[in-house]
Amino acid sequence: MIGDTPIPRGKRFTIECAAEGVRVGYPFKREVVIGDFKPSKLDYCDPDAPPPPRRLKGVPVCESVGVTRRPKQKIRFKNDRPSPERPASERPAAPTGSRAEARPAVNYFEVRPANLPPRLDSLKALTKSGVRGYPDVDAAQALLAGVMRKDRVRGDVLDLSAMGGLLGSLPGVTLRAVEGSAAALSALAAGGLDAHAAVPGESLLERWPDRARTVALVLAGDRGNAYAAAQVAWAHACTPPGGTLYIAGDRDKGFDRYVRLAGNAFGAGEVVARDGGMRVAKLIRRPGPTPALPDPEGFEAFGVTVVGLPGVFSAAKPDRATALMLGALERLDPDGSALNGKDVLDLGCGTGLIGAWAARRGATVTLVDGDLPSVRSAQATLAASGLTGAAVHSDVDAALDPAATFDVILTNPPFHVGRGVVLDVAREFIAAATRRLRPGGTLHLVANDFLPYEADLRALGEVRETLREAGFKVLSVTRA
């Protein structure tokens, strides 16, 4: 049992916890992925371990399995649903000479209709792995769509977080869909919507010279304060005086705080809908200055000057796992020559620290990320470090030249998408390595030590554990 919910033995589940500091004891340790709090705070019990303490850091512990009880804590279960096989014709072409995909069972690139809550069944949206909310629509966006339908919003709507285009199916709405996620952009393109890739703060006037009078935004509170503040400033800049902003988000991810921020800039506004933790507020813009965008963060590490734009993973300091991997690779290559002249792919580059580190060691680097702010960050990191390389906005390897292959692939794969926790993207990173590694080439992957990547990696070759430290592991595979 977790709380009041029985867990049938032998079933695979993903457990998502909305509060930090949640402690879960669960017999299917390998199958459990616990989300929405930092991996370093993750804790779980072995089935054979002694019962959990009755109190953990002053928080009462649920007796049966050790789930801490906190106010507002929310625990959701998601069955792990492998999706059907994707026709080979729809996958990125395998470069000549590459092996078959390691794990084609999850049909990562398939775009399909999103599951909608019954109250929205006359609407539609597309989705795919890697889009927020997949395989459902994002809960905040669903509430937003319900409110806008009730308000009978018509005409041009600028959606700054369009995901799979749900708002475009509202009757009488012409959607201007903006997204930074390459996965979402491919869902929008498949739906034939008018989509534009942009990051918070970018002017959209060149794309749409007249401003829409209605703007919609789902706050990504899970991406941190700076990103949410940048989203609010962007929404303000995009809304003409007298225009309306519909803003949705999760109470547990700072919605009230960000709406207060928006309220200061916009003037009149109020929360108009609640559903569980989800909220929608409606604000009318008064004339007045747009709040400033937060400054980029950054740091120096491993000989690289890193620029971290708002919302980019580990923008202010090196991620612990990444630092462990780079430290381990430096120890394996004390004279720093192993990457010289090699073609290196940094898959899921974030700020670009890993790719820039490889470029400093003489590699020709390609940095890929599905998140546009991350791609911009990686470009800025290369420039600030006086290095060159290609930074590509791509859902896994989909936007790379089909013939591109590499000597070395380095990755710290994601296991969160928005509020949810999923391994599909990480598994597709490994599948991409099977498409992109040259014979004799090596993949180095760093992950939390409980994440079950070894079986997928074995399709490439023998898996070596280059490092296991502080709850992380660096796995290395050389392709035969």
Ligand X SMILES: C[S@@+](CC[C@H](N)C(=O)[O-])C[C@H]1O[C@@H](n2cnc3c(N)ncnc32)[C@H](O)[C@@H]1O
Q: Which of 345, 369, 338, 416 is nearest to 33 (CA)?
A: 416
159 near ligand X (CB under 6 A): no
Segment lying near ligand X (by CB under 6 A), choices 135-143, 169-177, 228-236, 344-352:
344-352
- Closer to ligand X by CB, 371 or 407: give it: 371
Nearer to ligand X by Cβ, of 25 and 180: the residue is: 180
Report the alpha-carbon distance of residue 239 to residue 204 in Å, rounded: 11
The CB-of-430 to ligand X minimum distance in angstroms stands at 13
Which residue reads 């079950």 in tokens?
Answer: 452
Q: How far is the CB of 380 from ligand X (least distance, A)?
A: 14
* Nearer residue to ligand X within complex by CB, 138 or 319: 319
* Nearest residue (CB) to ligand X, 220 versus 396: 396
* 419 within 8 A of 253, measured Cβ to Cβ: yes
For residue 290, the minimal CB distance to ligand X (Å) is 27
- Binding segment (CB under 6 A) for ligand X, from list 255-263, 327-335, 348-356, 435-443: 348-356
The least distance separating ligand X from the CB of residue 318, rounded to whole angstroms, comes to 7
Sign of CA dihedral 63, 64, 67, 70: negative
- For 243, the 3-state DSSP assignment is coil
Q: Taking CB under 6 A as the rule, does residue 310 contact ligand X?
A: no
- For residue 185, report the phi and psi dihedrals to the nearest 5 degrees: -60, -35
**What does the per-residue mask of binding to ligand X show for 74-113, with x meaning CB under 6 A?**
----------------------------------------
Tell me if the bond preceding 289 is cis, omega within 30° of 0.
Answer: no
Interface with ligand X includes 396 (CB under 6 A)?
A: yes
Q: Which of 186, 239, 366, 374 binds ligand X (CB under 6 A)?
A: 374
Instruction: Kindly state whether residue 412 participates in binding ligand X, applying the rule CB under 6 A.
Output: yes
Q: Which of 414, 418, 420, 441 binds ligand X (CB under 6 A)?
A: 414
* Shortest separation between residue 416's beta carbon and ligand X, angstroms: 8
Q: Give DSSP secondary structure letters for 126-160.
A: EE-TTSTTTTB--HHHHHHHHHHHHTT--EEEEET
Q: Using an 8 Å Cβ cutoff, are 79 and 36 in contact? A: no
Q: How many chain residues bind ligand X (CB under 6 A)?
A: 22
314 contacts ligand X (rule: CB under 6 A): yes
**395 lies in the site for ligand X, by CB under 6 A:** yes
Which structure tokens are listed for 388? 């060159």
Token digits of residue 247: 């803003």
Where does this chain touch ligand X (CB under 6 A) — which range of 152-160, 169-177, 227-235, 367-375?
A: 367-375
Range in contact with ligand X (rule: CB under 6 A) among 7-15, 149-157, 217-225, 314-322: 314-322
Provide the mask over 265-294, with x wherever binding to ligand X is found by CB under 6 A and - wherever it is not: ------------------------------
Of the candidate spans 95-103, 330-338, 366-374, 464-472, the one that interacts with ligand X by CB under 6 A turns out to be: 366-374
Contact indicator for 196, 171 with CB cutoff of 8 Å? no
Max CA distance (Å), the chain: 66
Q: Kindly report the number of other CB atoms within 10 A of residue 116's CB atom.
A: 18
Q: State the nearest-atom distance from the C-beta of 395 to ligand X, in Å.
A: 5
Q: Any contact of residue 353 with ligand X (CB under 6 A)?
A: yes
Q: Is 369 in the site for ligand X (CB under 6 A)?
A: yes
CA–CA separation, 57 and 45 (whole Å): 16
201/227 Cα distance (integer angstroms)? 10
∠ CA 24-463-433 to the nearest 5 degrees?
95
| CA angle, residues 179, 267, 291, in degrees to nearest 5 | 55
> For the chain, what's the residue count?
480
420 is an interface residue for ligand X by CB under 6 A: no
Does 370 contact ligand X by CB under 6 A? yes
Chain-centroid distance, C-alpha 353 = 18
d(CA 112, CA 325): 36
By beta-carbon proximity to ligand X, the closer residue of 219 and 315 is 315
- Cβ-based burial of 386 (10 A; exposed 0-12, middle 13-18, buried ≥19): exposed
* Residue 431 makes contact with ligand X by CB under 6 A: no
Give per-residue burial for 43-75: e unless 16+ CB within 10 Å, then b. bbbeeeeeebeeeeeeeebbeebbbbeeeebeb
Of 141 and 377, the one with the shorter C-beta distance to ligand X is 377
Task: Kindly state whether residue 456 participates in binding ligand X, applying the rule CB under 6 A.
Answer: no
Query: Closest separation between CB of residue 398 and ligand X, Å?
Result: 8
Q: Quick check: 183 binds ligand X (CB under 6 A)? A: yes
Closest separation in Å from C-beta 390 to ligand X: 14
**Least distance CB 315 / ligand X (angstroms):** 9
Cα 100 → chain centroid: 27
Task: Report the residue number, 147 or 323, with the smaller CB distance to ligand X.
Answer: 323
Shortest Å, Cβ 181 to ligand X:
8
Cis amide linkage into residue 27, ω under 30° from 0: no
Which residues make up the interface to ligand X (CB under 6 A)? Answer: 130, 183, 313-314, 319, 322, 348-351, 353-354, 368-371, 374, 395-396, 412, 414, 425
